[in-house]
Chain A
Amino acid sequence: MTLALSGTADRCRGFEQHTRSVIRLKALGDARSSAGADFTVVRTSDDLKRVIQDSHEAIFAIDDGTGCFLSSEGLPRRAITVPAQFSYLAPGDVIGIHTPSRKFRTLYRHNSRHNSFLVTERCNNYCLMCSQPPKDIDDRWILDEIRQSLPLLDKETRTLTFTGGEPLSDSVEFIGLLADCRDQLPKTAVQVLTNGRAFAKSEIVDAWRKVNHPSLIAAIPVYAAVDHVHDYVVQAKGAFDETILGILKLKDRGQRVEVRVVLHAQTAPIILDTCRWIARNLSFVDHVALMGLENTGFAIANEAQLWIDPIDYRAALADAVDVLVAAEVNVSVYNLQRCVLAQSVWPYAVQSISDWKNAFISECEPCTEKSRCAGFFSSGRPRRSKAISPIL
């Protein structure tokens, strides 16, 4: 199942003063918040009647399949109504809406462990396998939207991810956002998916460090031990040098860093060399994630250069994990199914795929490892190893 995380509202009214708004859903009967951003979730005509009886607060009506909210009759002044496919939305969730077009995006789901904010679609890399193809557009409004969202999130949120594009495209504004996280969500661990090139500039690393966030990690991809291989994968000459410098500068200032290697036909055949090099040169990073490819975005366009059956790098991956473990580097394997991994890798293989795009296939039903397996991406154009078979 893939959840639709964006769509168009059937109706959106009462927002005359703003073109973009961030709202939070609340349960029927919950004490009304003073924020003005809270919208009561309404799923049936009965719900609607109760809201109207109680007060005239704002509502977020989700169609139950009967089309009962299609008429504006009886709706309060501030109301949003959305189609039935958004029935997963629930109290505590946060939504950003562009009121003139009624387009909205789910920004935060209260009951998910995988909440991430897209910070921008701009990026100075142009990775062959990018799952979120960059666009050169002025989308700085997104930063404002996130800034408005943060106070609405549950203070108990365990983790939050910022992704892109390159989140540090507007480094001053983005680092300001990290300070907001520190102040408003002090218990929430924050992960930033960045290409790390911005950290080659000392002033950016210094600003990052000065936030003094209690639990912040920069997750930075390194695709090879050799400059031109990495630069080709990210389609940017000089990127390797800046990325490695960035990692060194972050660690020099005591900041936490995760190194990520996405496995595809350019990186998987050399994964042992790459990991030997990481073990020897970057053993001080906090975590290394070796990640199966999500076949979406550019990965589909570049399938000829990128597709490799994970079973064909199974042995090399096992050796690579061994090398990192021996060097006492904290390592995890993401996005790969247990049936394509050597058993020695299982302890490091984690269920990494975000809940909204995670799936299993019918072959998995009898598998004894299913409850511990990462499963598959349901997004994009899933391509599976020929070796997929239940472990019995």
Chain B
Amino acid sequence: MARFLAAEAFSSPSEELALLPFNFERTGTEQFLVSNMVGDFIRLTEDEINKLIDLKVTPGDGLYERAYAAHLITGSRQKSQQQLLALRLRSRMSFLREVTPLHMFVVTLRCEHSCPYCQVSRQSTDRSRFDMSEATAQRGLDIAFESKSSRIKIEFQGGEPLLNFGLIKMIVSAAQAKSAVLSKKVDFVVATNLALLDDTILAFCKANEILLSTSLDGPADLHNKNRPRPGGNSYELAVSGIRRAREALGPDRVGALMTTTEASLGRVDEIIDEYLKLGLDGIFLRPLSPFGFAIKTKQYHRYTAESWLDFYRRGLRRVLDINHQGTPFREFYSSLVLTRMLTDRPIGYVDLRSPAGIGIGALVYNYDGGVFASDEGRMLAETGDNAFRLGHVDEDNYRSLVLSDKLVDAISMSLTQCAPECSTCVFESHCGANPVHHHATQGDALGIKPLSDFCARQKGIMRHLLRIMDESPRDAAILRRWAGS
């Protein structure tokens, strides 16, 4: 029998070690948060991070083992550490394989609501001017079906899209015909306030497997204050609409989104309870976006990123407690962020991706035939800024839109992988570029990140989630369940 060698015989001397790329930030006087190339986090002391950077680590000292397992170091002749990172990065970025899976049709800009935070600057009159024509819709569909995704989603937007229900019917039937011929699967969703929902519409949604997405801002007084309409009954119509839709289409066929206004800030528990009461399985705590009336009416500037974060943190606490009381219920944005942090699943969600999703994630066909790189892009256009208008359905095709200089420039200049502040940020792997937001707030698609409220919110959310994961095993067990599925 040959002799066995002692453990020391298998250690690499430090001159055979090499550092792998990592980002870090100071979290306390002696503490650092460190993330590897694919965003796995570990915490190191100042002494440890200094030793690591100098490669003063030795097998058996504990730091070597932690750093190796976290892909911060590799043997200089080894390949597997880099290959593992490459493979995981490829998986994380594979949302790029599905090019432009989302196509939004603004079938009308008219709306019977008059929300002061309206991000799209709705119009109340003049059907001929603010409704999409059949010819425009047909051209939009041609472009949508040119995209290379094997499956596309068509989302009807407004205004209130149900005000032009006739066109929705036409688009659905034309898209289904194309889907059959081109064997490209197509899903539909209508973003609606549900005020105009009736049995005909429900039957149509049922027959065509159409999802509904609506707005619910919280309790009646808050919702009706945020979302005025003639009769002051937006809340009553939304709630009864959600109930009817769940009954007619199934509980998972209607989703609701809330928008945080200044008046919401102190009432997060009530808002969450409203969702719980309706039997919904979670809530998406969403800040106002800096577009349309939200800017014009100065709604957007009424609260800071920090006061929104405070609202979010209290909300998340409430959501976790609901889970501890035995009801599974999620905060959906946290869910997305956790999926990025704890798994390598490709997440194409628009705020959480770089390259940004403008154009290559979604295209928007406006009522007048203008084509935009994102929903926010067309919101900007309503207030006179055409920075993200890529072309027109009559003059362009999918290729000319997606390869336009305007789009390529905006995407390439906003990459978090190389943007100042982003490229060295410990949260980079899990964040997104959001060029439209930065264009809107700073006049520059890249933006100065220390001045960005988007950046402040993203970091605030991720720091908070990490803190909970570290400090409360009980909460962490719930958060882990939200990741991935």
| List of B residues within 8 angstroms of A298 by Cβ | 1
Partner-contacting stretch, out of A9-17, A74-82, A150-158, A228-236: A228-236
| List of B residues within 8 angstroms of A392 by Cβ | none
| List of A residues within 8 angstroms of B68 by Cβ | 225-227
**Could you say which of A248, A252, A302 contacts B4, with CB atoms under 8 Å apart?**
A302
Roughly how many angstroms separate A241 CA and B481 CA in the complex, as a whole number? Answer: 32
Asked whether B4 lies within 8 Å of A245 as measured between CB atoms, the reply is no
Best-buried of B5, B10, B79, B484 by chain A (most CB within 10 Å): B10
Asked whether B75 lies within 8 Å of A126 as measured between CB atoms, the reply is no
* Closest-CB distance, B88 to chain A (whole angstroms): 7
Asked whether A281 lies within 8 Å of B84 as measured between CB atoms, the reply is yes
Roughly how many angstroms separate A225 CA and B4 CA in the complex, as a whole number? Answer: 22
| List of B residues within 8 angstroms of A228 by Cβ | 7, 10-12, 59
| List of B residues within 8 angstroms of A232 by Cβ | 5, 7, 9-10
User: Is A170 an interface residue, CB under 8 A from the partner?
Assistant: no
Interface flags, B1-43, vs A, CB<8A=1, else 0: 1101101011110000000000000000000000000001000
Asked whether A226 lies within 8 Å of B10 as measured between CB atoms, the reply is no
* Closest-CB distance, B12 to chain A (whole angstroms): 7
* Closest-CB distance, B1 to chain A (whole angstroms): 7
User: Is A277 an interface residue, CB under 8 A from the partner?
Assistant: yes
User: Is B183 an interface residue, CB under 8 A from the partner?
Assistant: no
Interface flags, A297-335, vs B, CB<8A=1, else 0: 010011000000000000000000000001110000000
Given the known interface contacts A232-B7, A302-B4, the answer about A227 and B480 at a Cβ–Cβ threshold of 8 Å is no
User: Is A133 an interface residue, CB under 8 A from the partner?
Assistant: yes
* Closest-CB distance, A301 to chain B (whole angstroms): 7
Query: Which chain A residue shows the least CB distance to B60?
Result: A228
User: Is A280 an interface residue, CB under 8 A from the partner?
Assistant: yes
* Closest-CB distance, B241 to chain A (whole angstroms): 36
Chain A: residues with Cβ within 8 Å of the partner, total of: 31
Given the known interface contacts A235-B4, A301-B1, the answer about A245 and B87 at a Cβ–Cβ threshold of 8 Å is no
User: Is B128 an interface residue, CB under 8 A from the partner?
Assistant: no
Contact residues on B (Cβ < 8 Å of other chain), bracket: 20 to 34
Asked whether B80 lies within 8 Å of A245 as measured between CB atoms, the reply is yes
User: Is A259 an interface residue, CB under 8 A from the partner?
Assistant: no
Asked whether A126 lies within 8 Å of B2 as measured between CB atoms, the reply is yes
* Closest-CB distance, A331 to chain B (whole angstroms): 16
**Could you say which of B1, B9, B40, B484 contacts A328, with CB atoms under 8 Å apart?**
B484
Given the known interface contacts A241-B78, A241-B79, the answer about A133 and B10 at a Cβ–Cβ threshold of 8 Å is no
Roughly how many angstroms separate A232 CA and B9 CA in the complex, as a whole number? Answer: 8
Roughly how many angstroms separate A30 CA and B5 CA in the complex, as a whole number? Answer: 56
Asked whether B83 lies within 8 Å of A248 as measured between CB atoms, the reply is yes
Roughly how many angstroms separate A237 CA and B484 CA in the complex, as a whole number? Answer: 37
User: Is B69 an interface residue, CB under 8 A from the partner?
Assistant: yes
User: Is A60 an interface residue, CB under 8 A from the partner?
Assistant: no
Asked whether B80 lies within 8 Å of A126 as measured between CB atoms, the reply is no
Given the known interface contacts A133-B1, A273-B69, A326-B480, the answer about A248 and B75 at a Cβ–Cβ threshold of 8 Å is no
Roughly how many angstroms separate A318 CA and B452 CA in the complex, as a whole number? Answer: 44
Interface flags, B71-89, vs A, CB<8A=1, else 0: 0000100111001100110
Within 8 A of A (CB), among B465-485: 480-481, 484-485
Query: Which chain B residue shows the least CB distance to A242?
Result: B80
Asked whether B7 lies within 8 Å of A128 as measured between CB atoms, the reply is no
User: Is B65 an interface residue, CB under 8 A from the partner?
Assistant: yes
Asked whether B84 lies within 8 Å of A235 as measured between CB atoms, the reply is no
Asked whether A241 lies within 8 Å of B69 as measured between CB atoms, the reply is no
| List of A residues within 8 angstroms of B12 by Cβ | 227-228
Roughly how many angstroms separate A298 CA and B343 CA in the complex, as a whole number? Answer: 39
- Nearest 5 A/B pairs, CB to CB: A244-B80, A225-B69, A231-B10, A241-B78, A228-B59
Between A and B, 22 residue pairs with Cβ closer than 8 Å are A126-B2, A126-B4, A128-B4, A225-B69, A227-B75, A228-B7, A228-B10, A228-B12, A229-B65, A232-B10, A241-B75, A241-B80, A242-B80, A243-B80, A248-B87, A252-B87, A273-B69, A281-B88, A283-B343, A301-B1, A328-B484, A328-B485
